């Protein structure tokens, strides 16, 4: 076998190994068993879940931090107190621009977070200023930390480009 053919074979094997064995950390969102969103992240990234409270008809938002392969709730904010809302959580509670903030909560969730949508809750996943709406009503959305192979990542993006 010539050196050129051997080099081509080695490159092909390297590409195949890379496609199926190199993995990338990702936050995946699934609904009804189908992956609907993938976000590739570096450690110490944040995202939030925002929704309209079903009774108070005001937005609530919980801010999560991802570090060391774990989701933690970092803080929450809302417009009004209601039944069942604690008077404080975390290290600081304050009011700013009409919102009540509770920061420094630092509660470990784990690798997976399930969000249930209501009839008119308008849930959305927010990262870096971009919002992804949870459009299916009365549906469980699972936000999960995973490692996707390069092949799975390419497959996800090609699938979403074709829609």
Which residue segment(s) compose the domain that 83 sits in?
41-147
Q: Which residues pair with 48 in a beta bridge?
A: 63, 126
Q: What is the pLDDT of residues 80-110, one digit of tens each?
A: 776 667 777 889 999 999 999 999 999 999 9
CA-to-CA separations, 51 to 120, 136, 150, in angstroms, rounded? 9, 13, 33
Query: Count of domains in the chain?
Result: 1
Task: Give every CB contact of residue 28 below 8 A, 6+ residues apart in sequence.
Answer: 35, 37, 38, 39, 143, 144, 146, 148
Q: What is the pLDDT of residues 21-57, one digit of tens each?
A: 888 899 999 999 998 999 888 888 999 999 998 777 8
Residue 9 resides in a domain:
no
Residue 25 resides in a domain:
no
Residue 159 resides in a domain:
no
């Amino acid at each position: 076998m010539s050196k050129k053919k051997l080099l081509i074979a080695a490159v092909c094997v390297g590409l195949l190994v890379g496609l199926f064995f190199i993995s990338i950390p990702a936050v995946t969102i699934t609904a009804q068993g189908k992956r609907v969103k993938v976000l590739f992240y570096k450690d110490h990234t944040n995202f939030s879940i925002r929704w309209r409270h079903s009774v108070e008809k005001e937005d609530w938002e919980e801010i999560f931090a991802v570090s060391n392969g774990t989701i933690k709730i970092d803080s929450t904010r809302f417009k009004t107190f209601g039944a069942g809302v604690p008077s404080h959580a975390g290290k600081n509670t304050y009011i700013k621009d009409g919102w009540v903030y509770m920061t420094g909560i630092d509660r470990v969730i784990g690798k997976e977070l399930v969000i249930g949508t209501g009839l008119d809750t308008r849930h959305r996943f927010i990262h870096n200023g971009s919002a992804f709406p949870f459009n299916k009503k009365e549906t469980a959305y699972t936000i999960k930390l995973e490692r996707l192979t390069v092949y799975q990542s390419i497959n996800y993006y090609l699938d979403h480009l074709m829609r």
